[in-house]
Amino acid sequence: MLDWLQYRTELLGRIGEIGKLNPDTVKGYQILTDAGQKTGHLDAKTRELISLAVAVTTRCDGCITVHVGEALKHGATREEIAEALGVAVAMNAGAALVFSARAMDAVSAHSAG
């Protein structure tokens, strides 16, 4: 397994390097990140649990380590994190099922002609 804390430190350093080379990209990302926080409809813990579930479904190790740390910082419990991950698993399996149906539709379309 990864040394998640060391990986996070190294990752944030590399992102800092990208920010120096291409500041508008990092600024644009930060604007997107900050936009959801401005509405105040979801608390920080809930946003981090959602972010973590999305990180798992998109297979982003960097996102996982950042959002685990933030979720814990905002008071998420191991049980809440596990439940959010359960939702990610269900959605990812559901997505695979939906896209399998799409693939079978493509098979039908290609076979008809």
pLDDT of residue 82: 96
pLDDT of residue 1: 79
pLDDT confidence band for 33 (50 / 70 / 90): confident
67 in Cβ contact with 52 (< 8 Å)? yes
Question: pTM of the full predicted structure?
Answer: 0.83
Tell which phi-psi region holds residue 60, choosing left (phi > 0), alpha (psi between -120 and 50) or beta. Answer: beta
Q: What is the pLDDT of residue 10?
A: 95
Averaged over 33-52, what is the pLDDT? 92
The pLDDT of residue 68 is above 90: yes
- Read off the pLDDT of each residue in 42-66 and give the average, rounded to a whole number: 95
> What average pLDDT does the segment 54-67 reach?
94
